[in-house]
A and B are shown apart, each in its own frame.
Chain A
């Protein structure tokens, strides 16, 4: 069964450093998302992406964040200058055209900012 994959599974970085989280969505999906989950809290929406552009973003997704689909398979989330409060689990998700409500999540990248 096709799955969303994410790399790395864990990342530790120093405050102020840039990080790039990578995702490979399910191959025939057209809608892509990033969510985050701070330890013990809710899953929170960050951004959705369709047709090579951002379609929605939350208040969390400020100028420090950016997303990119550099090729036909990868979808990345970049945090330019990490803060301590960016420490969280970051989930990529994708959904198919015609069934876009159903989002399939990857296993997540655990980001720890020191």
Chain B
């Protein structure tokens, strides 16, 4: 089932820095890529998503860069805040299927 891979497994940045989380996938049929944010004790919540027809999606401090040819994407969090400390999951799906999740990147933002 591991069709989506994420790196690094964990990441620590200082407040104000840009955190970069990487994701790659295998199935070229995937065309929708949501990123979910999960805090301890809670279920994951959609943060931002991109469709394969786009190469960039921006929402405030969160930006997805997408490279269809290389089957890679990344989530950039600019001006990182301690409140951004969470685990981030990259997912991928297509049509009416359920998304496949990566193993997650645990982000820690130090004040």
A and B associate in one complex: no
